[in-house]
Amino acid sequence: VRLEGSLEMTYRRGSDAWEVGWRKGMLWPGIPEASAFSTSYRLPKRAPILDRSGRRLATGAGPGRRYPYGALAGATIGHLAPAPATDSGGATRRAGGLTGASGLEGVFEPRLRGTPGSVLAVTDARNRRVEVLGRVGGAPGRPLKTTLDVKVQRAAERAYGGTTGGAVVVEPSTGDLLAVVSSSPIDPNDYVGVSDAEPFNRALSGLYPPGSAMKVVTASAALDTNVVTPRTKVTGPGEYKGVRNFESGVFGTIPFSKAVQFSVNTAFAQVAEELGSKPLTAYARRFGFNRPPPEAVAAATSSFPFPEDLYSLMWGSIGQAQVLTTPLEMATVAATVANNGVRMEPRTALGEAPEGKRVVSRGTARTMTKLMTSVVEGGTGVGAQISGVKVAGKTGTAEVDVDGVRMNHAWFVCFAPAGAPKVAVAVVSELGGVGGEVAAPLARDILQGVLPLVR
């Protein structure tokens, strides 16, 4: 439809200006009954979310959206809420539709929603349509095939149990997130159309000091820059320039390999002192700290603040000071070592090409694998031992003050089988206690559950 007409213009000498005799009907010439424009929208059917094998994690549209697996990976899948007033173009909101408000539903909203169709018309004074001026066809949403695996997710959640915190299972060679476990799970079926729900995914957005799990980064940096070798002699006094060993343990002169195996804080403080702030911060960034994860992952940024003094450097090297990280980030740290020193960007959607970048040399990664294997075979991580499977791992016990009381987050990061890694895992038990006593057995149980399920 073309709207055509003419405008009469009059020149006013006194004001030296041209004027137009304006009437509202000039907006729609040739349609005398018209009183207003009207735009209506039609939403296409929302596309499903699938796991890596094609199982439907979310299906249906609008208020009829359903999540067949209930709370399984619920916080990661996300939920739908009424479209906000700021919705792009207002189309979804004006059509009375729902929009992705959290998790994958929110991150991939444009893809899942598709493009609404629209009709521009004129209406009369009673708001009855008089004539259609134009139509724009919509486009359906596109299904999202995720990296998640329902079977791996179920096994990981079952092993994690009622622990408070989070766990992540990653495929080292691709960066694919196979399972994301967060305590306080939600069932998205209960939140369809709820506007004030804000699910918190501890595995992706929870920020915790990593404690000695950070030593994987520090040791990798020191080995890669030739500051130490596994045989380099270091000392482990009970205290060194303000840094203390866990439970005030005292070690004599030991090779660096033993400092890793038994997580000797004071030995690492001396290594960090020799390594320096700039190299350690640079390696932390290579491992994923201080830069946001891909938008499609919807995770918090882990931070390793630049150490301005020796005290901050030494404590930061063992995952204290102001260092904060997510279980996702620590899973990628373990996965980097497992993948011969190449860090793959974490990925939640299949169809996107995996992206990776070398962090440390192959030789450093091989050495770290041996050192982390020794942690499980006879060090602080024996609780992660699995009969017939070599596990490479590192414990972490991160000290925090809660209302003046000293408490610990328990960490364990690992990969298995050590010689041909299939998965990397990070586990944090929030205020759970000692890493080797709490998190290592949790990681063991997760590995035992998921290893038979992955190729």
Active site amino acids: 212
Residue corresponding to tokens 């000293």: 406
Strand partners, 208: 325
Q: Please say whether the beta carbons of 104 and 78 come within 8 A.
A: yes
Q: Which residues contact 121 (CB under 8 A, 6 or more apart)?
A: 37, 38, 39, 40, 129, 130, 131, 132, 133
154: amino acid identity, one letter? R
First to last CA, the chain: 59
356-358 and 342-344: which strand pairing?
antiparallel
DSSP 319-333: T-TT-BB-HHHHHHH
Residue 284 has which token pair?
A: 């932390």
Q: Which residues contact 106 (CB under 8 A, 6 or more apart)?
A: 78, 99, 100, 298
317: amino acid identity, one letter? S
Question: What is the spatial distance between Cα 410 and Cα 407, in angstroms, rounded to a whole number?
Answer: 10
CA dihedral 59, 60, 66, 67 (to 10 degrees): 10
Helix axes 215-224, 362-378, angle to 10 degrees: 140
CA dihedral 210, 211, 215, 218 (to 10 degrees): 70
Question: What is the spatial distance between Cα 338 and Cα 281, in angstroms, rounded to a whole number?
Answer: 21
**Would the CA dihedral through 303, 306, 310, 312 be positive or negative?**
negative
Question: What is the spatial distance between Cα 89 and Cα 152, in angstroms, rounded to a whole number?
Answer: 39
Residue 412 has which token pair?
A: 């364990």
CA dihedral 334, 337, 343, 346 (to 10 degrees): -20
Bond preceding residue 417 cis, omega within 30 of 0: yes
Q: Please say whether the beta carbons of 146 and 297 come within 8 A.
A: no
Q: Please say whether the beta carbons of 100 and 62 come within 8 A.
A: no
User: In the Cβ-directed half-sphere of 239, how many Cα atoms lie within 13 Å?
Assistant: 2
